[in-house]
């Protein structure tokens, strides 16, 4: 028996999230269709995270147990030939049987893209939130720094989440502009249901004159969902990076961990 770990990327705007659902097309179901075509069995797969309808992934991992002897590179090529153009397999490697795509994760980074211009971009439809008024990215960045540290994020969680422990640690945040594109990045130990989208919706209150420095700290302390902003559109959200525990993936993981020593993971 082998355990294979696959690294993939996907556009989520045509899928009802990652997790398999009844009567809805999902990323996991599409992957399993391709796996069945290549491996001649519908193997079970375990993903590193759940992503909701319309959410994208620049980096996503899933593991699979198989008795197939197909080489890793051949599996990458064959699966890409079987998958639609909005899902790509980037890598495949054999990992120890005790490795777990979800529970071996040390941290995740999310990216949220905002097209900040009066006229929408036809090239970013479904891939970024369109904001018509010019944002003050410097103010948003200062406000975003208040998310840093360990907090109870229950006020930044949508109803329907199943997590009983709502305390999370945020290691890095930033808001930066490149031309008309504003990007919010957040690296943390884990995230609650819709947490990043609510963080973005809260930061965008500054665009309405309803958020100033110190307000994020106050909202966190209140633990009140009603004081935070709306849940921003899924279109701009990407699971951007997944960091695994030291040595879990061998050489590549060690390089990733080395580059993130400043994150205090």
Instruction: Tell me the CA distances in angstroms from 166 to 47, 51, 57, 234, one per residue in order.
Output: 21, 18, 23, 21
**12/53 Cα distance (integer angstroms):** 7
Q: How far apart are CA 153 and CA 98, in angstroms?
A: 31
Give the DSSP letter of residue 76: H
Q: Is 52 noted as a catalytic residue in this protein?
A: yes
Q: Residue for token digits 């009603």?
A: 226
Closest Cα partner for 62 from 29, 16, 21, 109?
Answer: 29
Contact between 11 and 127 under an 8 Å Cβ cutoff? The reply is: yes
10 Å CB burial of residue 43 (0-12, 13-18, 19+) is middle
Q: Which entry of 13, 33, 52, 165 is annotated as an active-site residue?
A: 52
**Which residues participate in catalysis according to the annotation?**
52
């Amino acid at each position: 028996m082998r355990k294979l770990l696959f690294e993939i990327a996907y556009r989520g705007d045509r899928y009802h999230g990652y997790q398999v659902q009844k009567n809805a097309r999902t990323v996991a179901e599409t992957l399993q269709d391709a796996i069945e075509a290549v491996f001649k069995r519908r193997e079970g797969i375990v993903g590193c995270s759940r992503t909701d309808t319309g959410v994208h992934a620049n980096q996503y991992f899933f593991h699979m147990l198989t008795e197939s002897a197909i080489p890793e590179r051949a599996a990458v090529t064959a699966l890409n030939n079987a998958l639609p153009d909005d899902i790509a397999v980037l890598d495949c490697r054999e990992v120890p049987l005790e490795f777990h795509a979800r529970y071996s994760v040390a941290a995740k980074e999310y990216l949220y893209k905002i097209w900040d211009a009066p006229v929408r971009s036809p090239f970013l439809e479904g891939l970024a939130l369109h904001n018509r008024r010019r944002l003050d990215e410097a103010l948003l960045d200062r406000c975003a720094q208040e998310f840093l540290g360990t907090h109870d994020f229950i006020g930044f969680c949508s109803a329907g989440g199943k997590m009983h422990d709502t305390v999370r640690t945020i290691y890095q945040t930033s808001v930066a502009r490149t031309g008309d594109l504003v990007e919010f990045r957040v690296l943390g130990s884990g995230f609650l249901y819709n947490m990043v989208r609510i963080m973005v919706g809260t930061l965008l209150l500054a665009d309405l004159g309803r958020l100033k420095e110190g307000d994020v700290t106050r909202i966190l302390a209140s633990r009140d969902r009603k004081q935070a902003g709306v849940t921003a559109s899924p279109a701009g959200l990407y699971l951007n990076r997944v960091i695994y525990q030291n040595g879990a993936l061998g050489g590549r993981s060690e390089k990733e961990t080395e580059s993130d020593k400043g994150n205090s993971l």
